[in-house]
Amino acid sequence: MSKADRLKARVPRGFADRGAADLAATENMLRATRETYELYGFEAVETPFVEYTEAQYERVFAVNTKGTFFTLQQAAKRVRDGGRIIVISSNTTGLALPGFAVYGASKLAPRYFVEVLAKELGPRNITVNSVVPGVTLAAGVFTNTPHADPYLQEMTRATPLCRLGTPEDVANAVLLLASERAAFVTGHHLVADGGAGL
DSSP 98-122: TT-HHHHHHHHHHHHHHHHHHHHHG
Greatest CA separation found in the chain?
Answer: 49
Q: Considering 37, 103, 106, 130, which one is annotated as catalytic?
A: 103
Is 130 annotated in the active site? no
Query: Does the annotation mark 2 as catalytic?
Result: no
Q: Which of 37, 106, 107, 130 is catalytic?
A: 107
Q: Which of 89, 106, 112, 130 is catalytic?
A: 89
- Residue (of 8, 2, 36, 10) closest to 138 by Cα position: 36
What are the C-alpha distances in Å from 122 to residues 67, 81, 125, 131, 176?
23, 9, 5, 19, 19
Is-catalytic flag, 179? no
**Of 2, 3, 37, 90, which residue is the catalytic one?**
90
Q: Is residue 73 classed as helix, strand or coil in its secondary structure?
A: helix
Q: Amino acid letter at 85?
A: I
90 is catalytic: yes
CB contact at 8 A, 46 and 91: no
One-letter identity of residue 37: Y
The whole-angstrom separation of Cα 117 and Cα 187 is 8
Q: Is 82 helix (H, G, I), strand (E, B) or coil?
A: coil
Q: How far apart are CA 100 and CA 135, in angstroms?
A: 14
Active-site residue list: 89-90, 103, 107
